[in-house]
Amino acid sequence: MPKTKVAIIGSGNIGTDLMIKILRGSETMEVAALVGIDPRSDGLARAARLGVPVVPTGVRGLLDHPDFGDVRIVFDATSAQAHIANDAALRGADLTLVDLTPAAIGPYVVPPVNLDEHLGARNLNMVTCGGQATIPMVAAISSAATTHYAEIVASISSRSAGPGTRANIDEFTETTSRAIEQVGGVRRGKAIIVLNPAEPPLIMRDTVFCVVDDCDRDAVTAAVLAMAEKVRAYVPGYRLKQDVQFRRITASSPEADLVPHAPPRDRWVVSVFLEVEGAGHYLPTYAGNLDIMTSAARQVGERLATAVAAR
The residue length of the chain stands at: 311
* Per-residue model confidence as pLDDT tens digits over 78-137: 999 999 999 999 999 999 999 999 999 999 999 999 999 999 999 999 999 999 999 999
* Per-residue model confidence as pLDDT tens digits over 266-291: 899 999 999 999 999 999 999 999 99
Q: Is the confidence at residue 260, as pLDDT, over 70?
A: no
Same structural domain for residues 174 and 102? no
Q: Are the C-beta atoms of residues 290 and 274 closer than 8 Å to each other?
A: no
Same structural domain for residues 107 and 196? no
HEC secondary structure over 40-82: CCHHHHHHHHCCCCEECCHHHHHHCCCCHHHEEEEEECCCHHH
Q: Are the C-beta atoms of residues 128 and 156 closer than 8 Å to each other?
A: no
Taking each helix axis from N to C terminus, what angle separates 42-49 and 13-25, rounded to the nearest 10 degrees? 20
Cα gap 129→134, rounded to integer Å: 9
Same structural domain for residues 208 and 266? yes
More confident residue, 265 or 217: 217
Tell me the pairing of strands 267-276 and 204-213.
Answer: antiparallel
Q: Are the C-beta atoms of residues 148 and 211 closer than 8 Å to each other?
A: yes
Same structural domain for residues 98 and 64? yes
Annotated binding site: 11-14, 160-168, 289
Mean pLDDT along residues 138-150: 97
Same structural domain for residues 202 and 259? yes
Q: Are the C-beta atoms of residues 65 and 9 closer than 8 Å to each other?
A: no
Same structural domain for residues 134 and 282? yes
Same structural domain for residues 279 and 135? yes
CATH of the domain at 19: 3.40.50.720
Please tell me the total count of domains within the chain.
Answer: 2
Strand, coil or helix: 284: coil
Cα gap 284→203, rounded to integer Å: 9
Under 8 Å CB-to-CB from 206, ≥6 apart: which residues? 130, 133, 134, 152, 153, 154, 155, 273, 274, 275, 276
Same structural domain for residues 101 and 134? no
* Per-residue model confidence as pLDDT tens digits over 49-83: 999 999 999 999 999 999 999 999 999 999 999 99
Same structural domain for residues 143 and 240? yes
What is the b/e burial string over 223-238, where b = at least 16 CB atoms within 10 angstroms of the residue's CB?
A: bbeebbeebeebbebb
Q: What angle do CA 75, 78, 84 make, to 5 degrees?
A: 85
Q: Are the C-beta atoms of residues 10 and 35 closer than 8 Å to each other?
A: yes
Same structural domain for residues 82 and 159? no
CATH of the domain at 163: 3.30.360.10
Closest CA to 165 of 13, 9, 281, 16: 13
* Per-residue model confidence as pLDDT tens digits over 157-171: 999 987 778 888 888
pLDDT of residue 87: 98
> In this structure, what DSSP letter does residue 235 have?
-
Q: Which of the residues are catalytic? A: 129
Same structural domain for residues 241 and 113? no
Domain that holds residue 105: 4-127+291-309
Strand, coil or helix: 158: helix
* Per-residue model confidence as pLDDT tens digits over 185-241: 999 999 999 999 999 999 999 999 999 999 999 999 999 999 999 999 999 999 999
Same structural domain for residues 167 and 268? yes
Annotated binding site for NAD(+): 11-14, 160-168, 289
Q: Are the C-beta atoms of residues 211 and 283 closer than 8 Å to each other?
A: no
Distances, alpha carbon 51 to alpha carbons 34, 70, 183, 221, in Å = 11, 18, 38, 46
